[in-house]
Structure 1
Amino acid sequence: MATIRNIGLIAQLRSEASRHVIRYSSGRVRQSGRGLVFWFRPETASISEVPVDDREMTLFVRGRSRDFQTVAVQGTVGWHVVDPELLARRVDFSINLATGRLQGEPIEQIEARLSGIAGQAVLQYLGAAPIGALLDAGPEPLRVILEAVLASAPALAEIGVAAVSVRLTNLAPTSELERALQTPTYEALQQKADEATFARRALAVEKERAIAENELATKTELARRETLLIVQETQNARDRAAGLAEAQGLEAAAEAERIRL
């Protein structure tokens, strides 16, 4: 915003480097440039101040796909003024000579034109394809189309404005449709999760069965060995008894023979 200092019948205007100031007098351009500082007579002057810095506007368009599904596109469009004097002739950028403020809303007019051009291109793009193809492609193809449309739009060139960038942050259906589209994928993932759970359970059951069989085989082997041990101990006892009896018999026979002799 320009700074104006009034001193009696004359005033001084001081503008910023990012503003292009045009002073008219008697219908002719008397001064034109960026960051000007000059004296003027308010009763005979008309001054316009055009911003020449890069600006961004929010873009939000809601349209329908070819299969009648609602799709929302959101992003930003960057623009700047390339011909300030041409723009000042087409759009009113005159300022109040007492306060230095713009008397109208010229920026809103320019952004409305930008929004209209971009919105029409977005609606045409969305209406040419079904929802599935739009979501699979994502926002990048639309961004390229928007850049080309805005760069070649005669409605912008004729007022001295140019679009410098297009960024799309979102291309999405309604929340209800998004949930519906997510359902098959969610169900497939859930099915895979269930299959993995069942596989883990089956593996756990198989391991438990193998452990039980191993424990049973171990118990069987221990029982068999215990049986063999009992049999062996019994046989050993029998052998000891037989040996003892035989020894006692030999001793008795020897004693009897001694007595006989």
Structure 2
Amino acid sequence: MTASLNGRSVAVTGGSKGIGRGIAEVFAKSGAKVAILARDGEQAAAAARAIGHGAFGISGDITSAQSLAAAFAEIARRNGGMDVLCANAGIFPPAPLEEMTEAQWDLVNNTNLKGTFLSVQAALPYLKKSSQGRIVLTSSITGPVTGYPGWAHYGATKAGQLGFMRTACLELAKYGITVNAVLPGNILTEGLAGMGEDYQKSMAAAVPLKRLGTVEDIGHAALYFASKEAGYVTGQTIIVDGGQILPESQDALA
């Protein structure tokens, strides 16, 4: 599977930190030519230098079609095209439903859902030319499967990504492009690490495997969807959560 990504051009949105950085590193170590796109170009470049393996960073705003067009054109120029889009960028600022403002709702929807649409649309001219065109979305268990207080807007966008995916894969099948999604559970990122050790332990206690996931866990799932071996898999989701969604109650974890 790893060999089939060797030399492939991969763009990872939101790749300067968290899950996106983990995805970028897994692909880079597998021999792919990785471009990390983030709004902050300096952060993207710093992440690329830390990852190595020829990765490079580029500035781009996923809420702007014009910005994405310019960024993807540069990625294609430097890497000789684009074979894989990992549409990972997203935000999750909490806001209780009763207090949520229209601006807060719009910000999350514009970034997570509209940003997915714009990223895919901007990548299509390049993916259509690839012999291994792949789109991998980073969704979540929150929204499609579970709920969490304060994340009504976030959950709506993550469920919305899957609705988008199921029609997109039908429209793009004629080009040989597949569209799939990874649904992470509790993953140890910089944000979660900042919540403290006690919080991490309480989160891990709710997972049957008794640990939080790593960003590399998500990266390996994305790598499978992008591989040549997954060429007959499209419109599908994979939950990477250590079994978190399975227990009916805390008693089941005893």
Q: Greater strand share, 1 or 2?
A: 1
TM-score by length of 1: 0.21
**Which protein shows a greater Rg?**
1
- The answer to which structure, 1 or 2, has the higher relative contact order (CA under 8 A, 6+ apart) is 2
Q: What is the TM-score when the length of structure 2 is the normalising length?
A: 0.21
Q: Which has the higher helix share?
A: 1
